[in-house]
């Protein structure tokens, strides 16, 4: 009986440890998704500025001709 109780306690501890690992992985996953979203937003902003610069340059070329 003592052996079964020890096994049960060990399995419970392992289960808690695994639950904590899953919780940490989910939190890390959320943080990484947020970072990716920020990087994508920044890249879109840079692309918008680049397109706007092309338009401005094209207009200035038309004016100078």
Q: For the chain, 65 residues long, give each residue's pLDDT as a single digit of tens.
A: 999 999 999 999 999 999 999 999 999 999 999 999 999 999 988 888 777 777 777 777 776 66
Distance of alpha carbon 55 from the chain centroid: 33
| CA Rg value for the chain | 28
Collapsed DSSP state (helix, strand, coil) of residue 52: helix
Determine the longest span between alpha carbons in the chain, in angstroms: 96
**pTM as predicted:** 0.60
């Amino acid at each position: 009986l003592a052996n079964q109780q020890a096994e049960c306690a060990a399995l419970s501890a392992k289960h808690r440890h695994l639950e904590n690992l899953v919780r940490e992985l989910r939190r890390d996953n959320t943080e990484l998704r947020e970072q990716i979203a920020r990087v994508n937003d920044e890249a879109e902003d840079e692309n918008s500025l680049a397109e706007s610069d092309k338009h401005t340059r094209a207009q200035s070329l038309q004016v100078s001709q």
